Amino acid sequence: MALRHHYRQDSSSFCNINATFDCDTVNRSSHSKIAGIPVAFVGLLAYLLMMCLAVFQREKGETPALLLFISSAGLAFSLYLTYIEAEVLRTWCILCLTSLLSIGLIALLSGLRLRADLKGVTR
């Protein structure tokens, strides 16, 4: 959804509530791209990669560690983007905050899974 709104020119996002909560301002800012690639696209690819690992590679021993690594990197980047929203743009995006919550939960659950797997190995 954020990727679609990134390319639209009209003020069309459902989360454009006021000057404080305006997804279009965040999604179309100069901080919304990395080397010309929309951050929303990078996030979509990362979520798809994590889903594929969790669904199709869940039996492999290295998957929990890989999921923790990817989700931790995503969480760190999401926290950086939240800093940009708060301190630079002074505008919040509800979709971005939802993504922050989601990646935080994925990192937490990945860490708990890895911890459980490591405890099972040491016993």
Domains, in order of start, for the chain:
21-122 (1.20.1440.130)
Range 22-30, long-range pairs (CB < 8 A, 24+ positions): 22/91, 22/92, 22/93, 23/93, 23/94, 23/95, 23/96, 25/89, 25/91, 25/93, 26/85, 26/89, 26/91, 26/92, 26/93, 26/96, 27/2, 27/93, 27/95, 29/84, 29/89
> Rounded mean pLDDT of the chain?
88
pLDDT tens per residue across span 11-20? 666 678 888 8
- The model carries a pTM of 0.84
pLDDT tens per residue across span 92-115? 999 999 999 999 999 999 999 999
46, 84, 90: which is closest to 67 by C-alpha? 46
